[in-house]
Amino acid sequence: MDVLTAAPRRPTRRILVGTVPVGGGAPVSVQSMTTTKTADVNGTLAQIYALAGAGADIVRVTCNDPEAAVALAQIVPRSPVPIVADIHYQYRLALAALDAGVHCLRLNPGNIRKPEHVKAVAEEAKARGVPIRIGVNAGSLDDDIAATYGITPQALVASAQRELSYLAEVGFQDVKISVKASSVPLMVEAYRQLAEVTDHPLHLGVTEAGPPPAGLIKATAGIATLLAEGIGDTIRYSLTADPVEEAHAGRQLLEAMGLRQRKSVDLIACPSCGRAEIDVIAVAKEAQAALAERNLPIQVAIMGCVVNGPGEARGADLGIAAGRGKGHLFVRGQVVRVVPESEMVAALVEEAERLVAEGADARLAAADASAAEEAERTRQALLADQGDDPNAVAQRIELIRKELGG
């Protein structure tokens, strides 16, 4: 099946963050940030490895004091992914982070304000071939920019452009830019305006989105809107939660939008109805938990009944539909096996692993010849008992019409 995306990607320059390309048509990358004290080398590395395992391509680590800079020198060579040093206020810490071997710097124009300091960092980064992210934040704009524009999209863009001009004065071009805000409309419009005036790659995020589920909704609303318009080269969910959740969310969003190849299970499930033979919500949760850590790049469906389940979910790689105390396993809409209801999830996981290992054609060829016939008998029996309208929709409509005199 061809992968469809909402809009062509916006053409941008390409930079390299370590070995990860950003912009210039490269796959949209996922970023997150550690929450450990950077001076805790082993603790920080453990979190970096967890983030990489959850789908993070790049990890940002704070460099907020000399001890953190020293720790970065130990962390960077042991990290499985490129490391970005997060710098605030003290430009000398940016220079120290470069000495530590980091793969990128994040500078906030709102708190490193002296042009000569920005240029000093850019000159050293240029000499080492290390890119810089200009990280504009609506909550920390330069006073004069805020006074001129207010807290507006124009203010965020103006701040980014001013910082770009400082870097350009020393011939520095390996730049990516973010213009984040906690307001989704403000963030979206700022990125739209920025995309009109620069071809540098853009790092998307809704800052301070908050804890899930509200934080997930806010971040997705902003990031997905822009990605659907072709804007954005790398993303971060800024959640008040374990950062592993950020990496999972970023990866899942990109996979759902067809912007990254699927590496994890995409679980779909029917919303249930009067025909359902099982507790769909409970079975879906059990299946999701069982499949969560297996990194199987397939779509799996959980359907409440065998009447419409295999047909409605025929686009899924694999699924299971309930019927009269049994589970009907299907591959691409074709029933291949019938199992007891108590074994539905275990059988689903087993079949998922075989499907990934052997391929769909092999699993279809190995189908139980009697499974499809049994599924059809169950289907017809349920139709005979429940009819075509198990939710009594037609009766309800007729009752409404009578009540309204229609």
pLDDT of res. 382: 77
pLDDT tens string 228-251: 999 999 999 999 999 999 999 999
pLDDT-based confidence at residue 265 (cuts at 50, 70, 90): confident
> What is the average per-residue pLDDT within 311-338?
86
Backbone conformation region of residue 31, classed left if phi is above 0, alpha if psi is from -120 to 50, else beta? beta
What's the mean per-residue pLDDT of the chain?
Answer: 91
Question: pTM for the whole thing?
Answer: 0.82
2 vs 210, more confident: 210
pLDDT more than 90, % of the chain:
67
> What is the average per-residue pLDDT within 7-33?
96
pLDDT of res. 2: 44
pLDDT tens string 193-203: 999 999 999 99
> What is the average per-residue pLDDT within 80-99?
95
Measure the CA–CA gap between 313 and 281, rounded to whole angstroms.
17
Closest C-alpha among 314, 313, 291, 292 to residue 304: 313
Tell whether omega for the bond before 310 is within 30 degrees of 0, i.e. cis.
Answer: no
pLDDT of res. 345: 92
Count other C-beta atoms under 10 Å from residue 357's C-beta.
Answer: 10
User: With 60 as the cut, is the pLDDT of residue 213 above it?
Assistant: yes
> What is the average per-residue pLDDT within 345-353?
93
pLDDT of res. 1: 38
* Domains of the chain in sequence order: 14-256 (3.20.20.20), 266-386 (3.30.413.10)
Pairing of strands 58-62, 83-87: parallel
> What is the average per-residue pLDDT within 324-346?
89
310 vs 224, more confident: 224
pLDDT more than 70, % of the chain:
97
Quick check: 243 and 47 in contact, CB under 8 A? yes
